[in-house]
């Protein structure tokens, strides 16, 4: 039986790795997700075959989790997916914390500090409750900010970095005490203190991160949840949990680095700079007249355009306009225009947010272009249609050295021959920064709900035929 379980775990690990590889391409991502799910199913069945497990409680957990997952999959809208992912990350962290807590209580008083064999499980237990606690409360704060249940701006206070450093030092000290005297009441006190402090540290390490940096935080917390699961795998001696946790942890770190590079900022700057704590501005107030346009007038410009680039942002998600955008894109193609969709790496509020929405609307993957590919040719584009994006198209990142986002790579929409910006109002974006794009000579603002505006344009094209 043990040999069978070991082989099943190896097969599961292969499925995980192969599925993760398939996720790197849009054309195979759906199959990759299924392959990974099959791998997880094999791992779960193999684990249930281990003798000594109490199946009745496992079945209760499976039923409850399945019901919650099914309801969430049906009822949670795409606009709420970023905060839903944050809840997933937090749940993973909490599960790892509880595994570590349970294992320590089961073996409390049974650890021999002089035995080298106990060092690995002790370190694993401490890392599981530390990383799991930080992940859980950090993810809850991320959820609250993304769901706008709390102020999305960075919350900073005097001496904040010193406090965080002191907390890390305290956790390190508690870890040493816990590992040196595992069978003592002192270690038990250190363990409980570490649980409480790690939960508090998750809050303190997340509140100074502004809403504009939430995509990076989501990917980082996802990495944390993987590392916590990996530590839980060492606690339980479960190979497949170690492998899957390592894959999640490594992929999350890589994605975090990619997104930081896309913003031309270091991870330390994202975590500790308090970006977005100040009120909107980032330089001098913009002056000039905003030139608005109706959907009917915008139609005549689009009807004559030979190239159109859509630049989606969170506003498209809020309006659920992706299907209408796809329909307009098809009509523009039928009218002879070349259509592309330029996606900034940090557009939206979670990694790949816009890609997911466009894929849901069956936008051909070949029409999606990255920022580095569209910027060199954007001066030849007849019309750029910005749908709810703000900070990722802000020319202040190139032009205004006083701006907090100066140096961040953006999609240079202002250099196109003309730009239509679809927004409900002149309010600033999630970063709370003024956008000079709105005042450019070649920019026309189209105010209102994005889906209603796009639908009106679609009706104009259909009415022509």
Computed over its alpha carbons, how large is the radius of gyration of the chain?
A: 25
Do residues 280 and 434 make contact, with C-beta atoms less than 8 angstroms apart? yes
Catalytic residue among 183, 372, 382, 391: 391
Nearest to 9 by CA among 37, 45, 54: 45
Angle at 35 between CA 248 and CA 262, to 5 degrees: 40
3-state secondary structure of 310: strand
Kindly provide the residue ranges of all beta strands, DSSP E only, lying in 112-228, ordered along the sequence.
Answer: none
Q: Rounded to an integer, what distance in angstroms lies between the CA atom of residue 85 and that of residue 218?
A: 8
Nearest to 43 by CA among 236, 250, 253: 236
Within 10 A of 22 (CB to CB), how many other CB atoms are there?
Answer: 18
Q: Rounded to an integer, what distance in angstroms lies between the CA atom of residue 66 and that of residue 51?
A: 24
Q: Rounded to an integer, what distance in angstroms lies between the CA atom of residue 173 and that of residue 380?
A: 60
Do residues 235 and 125 make contact, with C-beta atoms less than 8 angstroms apart? yes
Nearest to 313 by CA among 357, 270, 281, 282: 357
3-state secondary structure of 368: strand
DSSP 227-245: HHHHHHHHHHT-HHHHHHH
Q: Please, what is the angle between helix 239-262 and helix 2-22, to 10°?
A: 20
- Whose tokens are 């051909």? That residue is 364
Distances in whole angstroms, Cα of residue 349 to Cα of each of 114, 406, 417: 49, 20, 29
Do residues 339 and 367 make contact, with C-beta atoms less than 8 angstroms apart? yes
Q: Is 391 a catalytic residue?
A: yes
Q: Rounded to an integer, what distance in angstroms lies between the CA atom of residue 118 and that of residue 121?
A: 6
What the block records as the tokens of 226 is 């993987």
Who's near 403: CB < 8 A, 6+ residues apart? 282, 283, 394, 396, 397, 433
DSSP 75-88: HS-GGGHHHHHHHH
| Residues involved in catalysis | 391
């Amino acid at each position: 039986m043990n040999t069978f379980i070991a082989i099943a775990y190896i097969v599961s690990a292969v499925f995980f790795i192969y599925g993760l590889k398939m996720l790197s391409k849009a054309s195979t991502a759906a199959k990759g997700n299924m392959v990974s799910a099959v791998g997880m199913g094999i791992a779960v069945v193999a684990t249930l075959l281990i003798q000594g497990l109490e199946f009745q409680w496992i079945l209760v957990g499976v039923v409850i989790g399945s019901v919650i997952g099914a309801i969430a999959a049906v009822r949670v809208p795409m606009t709420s997916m970023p905060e839903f992912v944050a809840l997933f990350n937090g749940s993973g962290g909490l599960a790892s914390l509880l595994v570590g807590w349970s294992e320590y209580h089961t073996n409390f008083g049974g650890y021999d500090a002089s035995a080298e064999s106990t060092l690995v499980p002790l370190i694993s237990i401490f890392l599981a409750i530390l990383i799991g606690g930080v992940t859980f409360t950090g993810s809850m704060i991320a959820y609250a900010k993304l769901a706008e249940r709390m102020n999305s701006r960075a919350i900073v206070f005097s001496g904040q970095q010193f406090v965080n450093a002191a907390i890390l030092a305290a956790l390190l000290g508690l870890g040493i005490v816990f590992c040196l005297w595992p069978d003592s009441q002192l270690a038990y006190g250190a363990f409980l203190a570490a649980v409480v402090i790690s939960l508090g540290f998750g809050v303190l390490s997340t509140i100074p991160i502004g809403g504009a940096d939430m995509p990076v935080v989501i990917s980082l917390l996802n990495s944390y949840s993987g590392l916590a699961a990996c530590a839980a795998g060492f606690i339980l001696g479960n190979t497949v949990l170690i492998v899957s946790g390592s894959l999640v942890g490594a992929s999350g770190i890589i994605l975090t680095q990619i997104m930081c590079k896309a913003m031309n900022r270091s991870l330390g700057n994202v975590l500790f700079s308090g970006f977005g704590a100040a009120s909107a501005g980032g330089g001098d107030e913009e002056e000039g007249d905003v030139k608005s346009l109706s959907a009917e007038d915008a139609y005549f410009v689009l009807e004559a355009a030979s190239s159109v680039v859509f630049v989606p942002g969170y506003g498209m998600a809020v309006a659920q306009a992706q299907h209408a955008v796809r329909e307009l894109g098809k009509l523009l193609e039928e009218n002879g225009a070349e259509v592309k969709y330029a996606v900034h790496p940090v557009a939206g509020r979670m990694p790949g947010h816009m890609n997911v929405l466009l894929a849901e609307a069956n936008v051909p993957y070949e029409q999606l272009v990255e920022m580095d590919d569209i910027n060199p040719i954007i001066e030849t584009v007849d019309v750029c249609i910005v749908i709810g994006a703000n900070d990722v198209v802000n020319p202040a990142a190139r032009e205004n050295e006083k701006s907090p986002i100066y140096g961040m790579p953006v999609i240079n929409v202002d250099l196109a021959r003309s730009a239509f910006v679809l927004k409900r109002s002149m309010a600033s974006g999630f970063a709370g920064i003024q956008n000079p794009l709105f005042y450019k000579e070649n920019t026309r603002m189209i105010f209102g709900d994005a889906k209603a505006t796009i639908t009106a344009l679609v009706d104009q094209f259909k009415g022509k035929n």
